[in-house]
A and B are shown apart, each in its own frame.
Chain A
């Protein structure tokens, strides 16, 4: 297949996926058991984006950073603060006098109506990414000179510092301190009302945002910058000798990765009902690192598949293990609260031990699918030959 047909197939598959999501969203009622499908789809789109953004840094540039949760926090807060309706601010900021009196969707919505509100949300999401990227730039100044594990622990440290700053009582008028932010624009904002019928687009919007961002990262990785990043990963000294400006490129990769982590944070805020600094702990970064490594370091499609599997099995498929009944086996004394996570961590352990290079290694999906297809054809040809051979 040529490159052009590859692209056409990919575009067709994506269009098919989006069409299916839109249809599913109209069919499934919130009370159905299958409604869980939409919930996990939204959540896994967030995790896929954040995992890919981490992969850009850890897998493609070879910078071992553990600051993802901190940048997501920045994104989530920025997004939430700038989309809470002005009327609700007094209710949300119960104990403080809110000092930010601006909401993108409202400001633009009052000028341009529904489209303006949508534009406002988009601006707030982009601002969330920019704030995270700006913070990354500042953090990068001192820490990007550090090597491997030292960089990891320093970025982890910055994430913890950011978390503490957002919980600080003196910043309450901006961040609401340790109290949650709520009533901002959530995913249920995305729906179309035509007359009496409402078309629900929340899962579509979430997956769409993630797809756009991941697409941008794919383009970046395939550009000359992407090749420079990979050169740094393979050998810093050789890359420098080839005339690459190490520090500038590392800073660039760090900022871009954080930009998308910030957008991921904003999407997580949209998915959840509240934003609270205390939820963005180091454990969240570890979870994302697990997803990245399980999917394969340096494989974007690997990160996406692994995020899907991770969220689907932890949040949905294994649910029965918590509530007494799983695969038709009823054992309430064993299958009680928490058993799901024990089984889930055992599965992860097994994958880590037996798939050292993750699900995809550093290969991408088209390649793996192509190889599978090749093997299948070879197998069929062999079977054909066998059938054709004379007996005896």
Chain B
């Protein structure tokens, strides 16, 4: 077996999971760009979206449950913003952030209560969840679909932001919160819309992500959420191409670390496995710290200057 044959499955999985991180990272990045808020609840919205799918699929046929899941997730994102962030608009930044942590705590505990903490099997979506063989590597079709679907959605989003009125409003608010209000932009509407888009992308991401995993547990959103946020910071927070690139890089690196032992043994560099897979999550943060040390605002981040 050649080196390529060994790496390929990891690479495919990496691009796929990277695409899913990217979809979530955009949600973090847009919210941060406008509110300067790390929306800690975003990962849990992602998890709840997975749970909604589990329960919906038991009651409705798939062609109805998928749009229903997307709609409900968007509503959830909207509701979270209205209930937990809007009342704190004038409060210190730390309060809003803690409110986000409290929402995350609440969503996790609600999920724990409703599911009883058990693993809920994610429904198999026909065609998408089927196994296929690519260049000799067996994988699920969702692995191949993810990057393309992600790029299509991102392209749509970029068009929306560049060429529509609400998109222009979003860019303005991100640039200068106060001045945009003076220019007559309805701030609450723009913020709600941002949360709706973020939740929509998270819902799509969650369908793709959980199709690859056996099930949903209440803490399932934590790690992917954290990684997606890291991806957003890595790419430069507030930048959509940055979030996509960050997500892909982090996904691929994480996946390759998982297969590193096999590759090194194959190359004859080491004799016995080093158990490097333990570091697959931690490596994300190593990448983050490296980029922050050399380029403190991320790959595509804007430079900010301190004014006295």
Contact = CB atoms under 8 A, between A and B. Distances in A.
Given A237-B306, A349-B103, A160 B285 contact: yes
Contacts of A337: 113, 116-117
Interface in A115-155: 142-143, 145-147, 149-150, 152-154
A22 to B, nearest CB: 35
A267 interface: no
B167 interface: no
A290 interface: yes
Contacts of B38: 149, 152-153
B288 A153 contact: yes
| Interface footprint category on A | 35 or more
Contacts of A153: 38, 229-230, 233, 288
Contacts of A339: 113
A290 B109 CA distance: 15
Interface in B145-184: none
Nearest to A164: B282
Contacts of A167: 278
Contacts of A158: 285, 289
A32 to B, nearest CB: 29
B88 A154 contact: no
Interface residues of B, number: 48
B110 interface: yes
Interface in B98-122: 98-99, 101-106, 109-110, 112-113, 116-117
Contact of A237 (B104, B106, B308): B308
A329 interface: no
Given A352-B99, A353-B87, A170 B274 contact: yes
A345 B282 CA distance: 29
> Interface majority SS on B: helix, strand, loop or mixed?
helix
Contacts of A293: 94-95, 98
A237 B293 CA distance: 21
Contact of B98 (A168, A169, A290, A336): A290
A36 interface: no
Contacts of A289: 98, 101
Contacts of B84: 349, 352-353
Contacts of A201: none
A374 to B, nearest CB: 27
Contacts of A157: 230, 284-286, 288-289
Interface in A32-47: none
7 contacts: A149-B36, A150-B292, A154-B289, A170-B275, A281-B222, A290-B105, A345-B105
Interface of B: 32, 36, 38, 40, 84, 87-88, 91-92, 94-95, 98-99, 101-106, 109-110, 112-113, 116-117, 219, 222, 226, 229-230, 233, 274-275, 278-279, 281-282, 284-286, 288-289, 292-293, 296-297, 306, 308
Given A149-B36, A157-B230, 8 more contacts: A153-B288, A160-B226, A170-B274, A289-B98, A297-B94, A338-B109, A338-B112, A345-B105
